[in-house]
């Protein structure tokens, strides 16, 4: 199998995109995709517009698909256009352009219904809850439902068309790269559980491009003492283990 070298990154000027554009630049030939002109070279494509997407991925070995409305509060129209329609268009363009692999930014929110809706005690560090990838989803929002659609259309296209698919249930990455940004706010406990450092994010995406697989789902959170996700299966299947821990920022 030839190595993956030419990699497109959609949503390249967002929070995650900027981290990956910098962190993966030494190992891959990157093509950035953005919605508008930005302060680095990029191809402008609106992924919810079929006519703009056709041909966009010609020559790429892999696509890291980040472009989406990332808000759990997003209204239906935003989710429909930027997460559902755009996801379908990206998958179709991967099929047409024979892109070998897609790495998809899914989310912890596919199971966050457990933490905020049904069993809020999940975030209590004393309970030491560890959810598993195979647990039944519990989406907390239309946003989360759209990410489950992404994981599942990935499965369909991997089975039907042989596109390799790696879905990453990302925790919470912040531009400041520290969980202290939420200290003293109602979101502190959540960020302490879900924190994802920039270097852990880059290393996980590197593995997602390299691991031998047809279809993989994985958690991408740092090795937080208060994490609520069981990382065992991720470590075995993705061959990646995080290095950072939100607790060290709090003196833990």
Ligand X SMILES: NC(=O)c1ccc[n+]([C@@H]2O[C@H](COP(=O)([O-])OP(=O)(O)OC[C@H]3O[C@@H](n4cnc5c(N)ncnc54)[C@H](O)[C@@H]3O)[C@@H](O)[C@H]2O)c1
161 within 8 A of 167, measured Cβ to Cβ: no
Closest contact distance (angstroms) between CB of 5 and ligand X is 23
For ligand X, give the closer residue by CB, 39 or 212.
39
Using the rule CB under 6 A, give the single segment among 12-20, 116-124, 229-237, 241-249 that binds ligand X: 12-20
* One of 86, 102, 182, 231 touching ligand X (CB under 6 A): 86
Q: How many CB atoms lie within 10 A of CB 236?
A: 10
Of 135, 151, 7, the closest CA to residue 68 belongs to: 151
Q: Which is nearer to ligand X, 69 or 247 (CB)?
A: 69
The one among 7, 16, 142, 153 contacting ligand X by CB under 6 A: 16
Q: x/- contact string, 59-78, with ligand X (CB under 6 A)?
A: -------xxx-x--------
Q: How far apart are CA 125 and CA 228, in angstroms?
A: 9
Rg (CA), the chain: 17
Residue 1 neighbours by CB under 8 Å, 6+ apart: 212
- The whole-angstrom separation of Cα 249 and Cα 252 is 7
Taking the complex as a whole, the smallest distance from the CB of residue 172 to ligand X amounts, in Å, to 4
Residue from 28, 88, 143, 219 carrying the catalytic annotation: 143
Q: Where are the beta strands (DSSP E) in the chain?
A: 6-10, 29-34, 43-44, 62-65, 101-107, 164-170, 215-220
Q: Of 172, 14, 1, 18, which Cα lies nearest the Cα of 101?
A: 1
190 has catalytic annotation: no
Q: If binding is defined by CB under 6 A, does position 119 make contact with ligand X?
A: no
Q: Which of 32, 60, 105, 228 binds ligand X (CB under 6 A)?
A: 105
Look up residue 30 and give its two tokens: 């990157």
Compare residues 77 and 212 and give the one whose CB is closer to ligand X.
77
Residue 47 binding ligand X, by CB under 6 A: yes
CA atoms within 13 A on the CB side of 45: 28
Closest CB to ligand X among 44 and 159? 44
Stretch that binds ligand X, among 42-50, 119-127, 203-211, 221-229 (CB under 6 A): 42-50
Binding site for ligand X (CB under 6 A): 11, 13-17, 35, 46-48, 66-68, 70, 82, 86, 105, 107, 170, 172-173
Question: Which are the catalytic amino acids?
Answer: 143
């Amino acid at each position: 199998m030839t190595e993956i070298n030419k990699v497109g990154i959609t949503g390249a000027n967002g929070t995650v995109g900027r981290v990956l554009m910098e962190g993966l630049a030494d190992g891959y030939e990157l093509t950035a995709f953005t919605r508008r002109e930005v302060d680095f070279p990029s191809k402008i494509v609106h992924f919810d517009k079929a006519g703009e997407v056709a041909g966009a991925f010609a020559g790429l070995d892999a696509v890291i698909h980040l472009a989406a409305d990332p808000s759990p509060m997003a209204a239906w129209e935003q989710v429909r256009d930027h997460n559902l329609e755009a996801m379908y268009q990206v998958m179709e363009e991967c099929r047409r352009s024979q892109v070998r692999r897609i790495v998809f930014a899914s989310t912890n929110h596919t199971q966050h219904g457990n933490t905020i809706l049904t069993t809020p005690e999940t975030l209590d560090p004393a309970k030491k809850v560890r959810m598993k990838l195979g647990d039944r989803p519990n989406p907390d929002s239309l946003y989360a439902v759209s990410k489950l659609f992404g994981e599942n259309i990935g499965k369909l296209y991997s089975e039907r068309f042989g596109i390799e698919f790696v879905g990453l249930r990302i925790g919470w990455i912040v531009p400041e790269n520290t969980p202290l940004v939420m200290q003293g706010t109602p979101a502190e406990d959540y960020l302490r559980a879900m924190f994802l450092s920039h270097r852990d994010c880059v290393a996980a995406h590197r593995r997602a491009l390299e691991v031998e697989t047809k279809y993989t789902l994985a958690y991408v959170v740092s090795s937080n003492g208060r994490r609520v996700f069981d990382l065992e299966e991720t470590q075995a299947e993705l061959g990646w283990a995080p290095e950072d821990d939100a607790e060290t920022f709090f003196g833990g």
